[in-house]
Amino acid sequence: MHKITVRAGSNIAFIKYWGVADPAINLPLTSSVSMTLQEAHTTTTVAWQPASDLPADAVTVDGAPLTGDALARIERHLDRIRSLAGVSHRAQVTSRNNFPMASGIASSASGFAALTVAACRALELDLDATRLSALARLGSGSASRSLFGGFVLWERGVDDATSVARPLFPPDHWDLVDIVAVVSSAPKHVSSEGGHRLAASSPLNDARIAHAGKLLPDVIAAIRNRSLPELGPLIEMDALAMHAVMMTSTPNLIYWQPGTLEVIHAVQRWRKDDGLAAYFTIDAGPNVHVLCDGRDAGTVRHSLEALPGVSRTIASGPGPAPFELTDHLF
């Protein structure tokens, strides 16, 4: 059995995936739009072996063997791939992120994208990118978008075959930069997996879903026009709407820390006082992603790092679709 190594970028959503219509297949409540990240990626090597040689899947992430729930989630994904290929082989998987786990960058998106592509190729399963996107979605919803480079739309769809991502614009379409302001490295208390199931308990959820559907064409048009003054207010609106849903779920999810508000207010101040085109979005955690044009990235990064609540920043432009590497991790 040959070894395959694949690198996939994480992604940052401009219209968020939050809430599932069918948790069994991560069928989302809304379509979402994201940018695949160049500088934040997962590299994964997979080799399959007969169960007689390798009795159980063995998975190592960032140097530590996975156990418990984290391992079980990967095993369930490997089961899907085994059943597609009609084999009972076990997988040896080694994975490495080039960004810290608690950075506010989704390791599940890049992780499940890289795992899906590497595990399928190592079994010589010939699936196109759309099928791979659907398969990656079963592991982690946002991973469906990391199957493509540049700017990506995940269509909500109605079932497993139709809930897939597709590319909107290639990575070189727009020199847009995502700068993550890390305000806390503490592990989050509620995973996104658990949070998606809570969305429907918020009285604001239906309104946010309806509004996200209205924002979507404008978000795509703003990306087409490479216009941050058009895109920025829309992404801030949806990020705040998603956090309003989180904060009003039962039980409530309050991911923000004092540093989160410090960054939000600073970004608004720089826009107003200095005319700096920078806009924020926030995922299921306290760290703030600040979007700006490439020409402003140095200034924004420097200003973020000067805030007392920001411990570090990680900057990334648009990145490619998953690709194979010839250097393996084992």
Residues of this chain that bind ligand DP6 (CB under 6 A): 13, 16-18, 26, 32, 106, 108-109, 140-142, 192-193, 196, 283-284
In the complex with ligand DP6, the residue whose CB is nearer, 30 or 313, is 30
Q: How far lies 290's CA from each of 33, 270, 272, 330, in Å?
A: 16, 12, 16, 36
Question: What is the full DSSP assignment across 170-238?
Answer: -GGG--EEEEEEE---SPPSS-HHHHHHHGGGSTTHHHHHHHHHHHHHHHHHHHHTT-HHHHHHHHHHH
**Shortest Cβ distance from residue 86 to ligand DP6 (Å)?**
26
Q: Residue 218 corresponds to which tokens in the numbers above?
A: 């404008």
Closest CA to 16 of 6, 26, 29: 29
In the complex with ligand DP6, the residue whose CB is nearer, 193 or 218, is 193
In the complex with ligand DP6, the residue whose CB is nearer, 71 or 85, is 71
* CA 199/CA 33 separation, integer angstroms: 19
**Shortest Cβ distance from residue 121 to ligand DP6 (Å)?**
22
In the complex with ligand DP6, the residue whose CB is nearer, 16 or 90, is 16
SS3 145: helix
In the complex with ligand DP6, the residue whose CB is nearer, 178 or 283, is 283
* CA 312/CA 184 separation, integer angstroms: 10
In the complex with ligand DP6, the residue whose CB is nearer, 17 or 256, is 17
Q: Peptide bond preceding 251: is omega within 30 degrees of 0, i.e. cis? A: yes
**Shortest Cβ distance from residue 208 to ligand DP6 (Å)?**
12
Q: Residue 125, class by beta-carbon neighbours within 10 Å (0-12 exposed, 13-18 middle, 19+ buried)?
A: middle
**Shortest Cβ distance from residue 17 to ligand DP6 (Å)?**
3
The DSSP bridge partners found for residue 49 are 90
Question: What is the full DSSP assignment across 37-53?
Answer: EEEEEEEEEEEEE-TTT
**Shortest Cβ distance from residue 49 to ligand DP6 (Å)?**
27
**Shortest Cβ distance from residue 197 to ligand DP6 (Å)?**
9
In the complex with ligand DP6, the residue whose CB is nearer, 44 or 303, is 44
Cβ neighbours for 62, distance < 8 A, ≥ 6 positions apart: 95, 96, 97, 101
**Shortest Cβ distance from residue 27 to ligand DP6 (Å)?**
10
